[in-house]
Amino acid sequence: MTGARVLITAGASGIGRAIAVAFHDEGARIHLCDISAEHLAEALVALPGASGTLADVAAPEQVDRVFADLQAHLGGLDVLINNAGIAGPTAPVEEISPEEWERTLAVNITGQFLCARRAVPLLKAAGGGSIINLASVAGRFGFPLRTPYAASKWAVIGFTKSLAMEVGPSQIRVNAILPGPIIGDRLHRVFRARAEAEGVTEAEIDRRAVERVSLRRLIPPEDVASAALFLCSEAGRSITGHSLNVDGNVEGLP
């Protein structure tokens, strides 16, 4: 990956930060965007040579700014990692507001579209490249009390398959990664919200989640980063339109 020009959305923390570290360690040139000024500033210090833009991927004009900065810093693009996403509400459908629904889909799927539409011309100009869309195991299961999130992640799968067919002739590969329960602060927040919605302890939600993973453990974010590296590498040059589960084989959602 030496010299590859890589854009990672929500790249300053969590899975995005693990992906940024992995690509940076392999010699890629990194541009991050993130909605948190604090996390972005810290990541840029930790990743010498990386550049970044403070942006919300659900806002078209902010995505335009990301790509203007990217062009200025990197001069083009070889890899887009569409990682930005939010958990959305945890509640029965009748208690979810239209604003909560719309915000979840705006970040989780519209944000991927907005980035892809700007990235594809740059990838074509580069003679090909790779797009990785972060989905979730919630994109292959029903997920009661998390309908906006699940709907958005099922949409990512459809977007990935369709875009892979569309841009394949230009030697652009498009794949999705479906993480399972990933170790980190976000998972704790999700488990806490689920516990509150069901009136049980967070430990009970954690127990259920681990019981439904065949490997009986949570997944380190670095494992997702390794999968992204593989899909974007020469070793993955013939893989496109694929949904890769990095989840320890989740058998069902808690």
Please say whether the beta carbons of 35 and 59 come within 8 A.
no
Q: Is 176 helix (H, G, I), strand (E, B) or coil?
A: strand
CA distance 186 to 10: 13
Neighbour tally for 220: CB within 10 Å: 14
| Distance of alpha carbon 194 from alpha carbon 142, whole angstroms | 15
Given the structure tokens 């794949």, which residue do they identify?
Answer: 175
Query: Could you tell me the end-to-end alpha-carbon distance of the chain, in angstroms, rounded to an integer?
Result: 37
| 79 carries an active-site annotation | no
Q: Which helix (H) or strand (E) holds 130?
A: strand 129-134
Q: 67, 149, 154, 191: which one is catalytic? A: 149
d(CA 87, CA 104): 7
CB-CB neighbours of 207 under 10 Å? 13
Neighbours of 208 (CB within 10 A): 16
Element (H, E) at 7: strand 5-9
How big is the chain, counted in residues? 254
CB 221 within 8 A of CB 184: yes
Residues recognised as catalytic: 149
